[in-house]
A and B are shown apart, each in its own frame.
Chain A
Amino acid sequence: MRLVRRAARGDGTSWRPDGQAPLHQVGSEPDYRFSLANERTFLAWLRTALALLAGGVAVVSLVPDIGTPAIRRVIGVALLLLAGMVAGASYRRWAASERALRLERPLPRSSLPLLVASGVTAVIAVLLVLVALGT
């Protein structure tokens, strides 16, 4: 991280870590339908994060029989960290998409689908192994 003070540019970009202008100063107003669709997508990802959060808590404390407490803690923490990452990435995806809409550029690719799919698959695989070993 640069410790040198950036010169003020007077356009709202100097204080942002990514050097980009604030959203409402970029491009032009997109079709409201796209903005609302973007918002709904953000909310859908946030609900995914909440489901992961609930899953993480459940594994740690509401599921007494699988594996050992230590293993459950690891899986639970993994799900909770995934939840936190998804929540943060959801907002970033929304902002990047809104920016692309305003600049009439193609929507950027999101890492979210792959992140969630691989994370959840890994956890399910581990749980299946534990259940199989336990029987």
Chain B
Amino acid sequence: MSRPDRDADTLHDEGAQAERTALSWQRTGLSLLGAGIVVLHAGDELDTPLRLVPALLLLATGALVTGVGAPVRYRETLRDLRSGRSPVRMPLLLALSLVVTVSALAAVGIVVVHAV
């Protein structure tokens, strides 16, 4: 069996930067899922169908990030590093912070609405 192209299987990932970033994404995805499950199972004040809005938002985003986002980001980052492109993806980060902000504010809204 002929040896595959050396460049293709040489990992251009000094210091495992791409891998550590992917792991960071994985952890974030798991945190999203965890927070979503907590919101989903909240009783008392938040025991209203409205809580499904932040819960499903967090769970869906968590599932996407863990299942698709992290591995794709990893491969994409390696490709970028190999070709000298910037690995920065600003819209992705902005979207993620918006998901968390919106979910937190939605939960506040639900608590306040139910207290009044």
Contacts and interface: CB of A to CB of B under 8 A. Distances in A.
B42 A50 contact: no
Interface in A26-58: 29, 32-33, 35-37, 39-40, 42-44, 46-47, 49-54, 56-58
B43 interface: yes
Interface string B32-43: 101100110111
Contacts of A36: 17-18, 20-21, 77, 87
Interface of B: 14-15, 17-18, 20-21, 24-25, 27-28, 31-32, 34-35, 38-39, 41-47, 58, 77, 80-81, 86-88, 90, 93-94, 96-97, 100-101, 103-105, 107-108, 111-112, 115
A50 B88 contact: no
User: Most chain-A Cβ atoms within 10 A of its Cβ — which of B17, B27, B101, B112?
Assistant: B101
B88 A98 contact: yes
Nearest to B115: A73
Contact of B90 (A23, A44, A80): A23
Nearest to A42: B93
A35 B42 CA distance: 37
Contact of B38 (A29, A54, A70, A81): A54
Interface stretch (A86-94, A107-115, A124-132): A86-94
B104 A87 contact: yes
Contacts of B27: 43, 47
A64 B99 CA distance: 28
A60 B45 contact: yes
A84 B93 CA distance: 15
A84 B77 contact: no
B100 A87 contact: yes
User: Most chain-A Cβ atoms within 10 A of its Cβ — which of B15, B17, B41?
Assistant: B17
Contact of A32 (B34, B86, B103): B86
B111 A77 contact: yes
Interface string A3-24: 0000000000000000000011
A83 interface: yes
A119 interface: no
User: Most chain-B Cβ atoms within 10 A of its Cβ — which of A40, A42, A57?
Assistant: A57
B93 A94 contact: yes
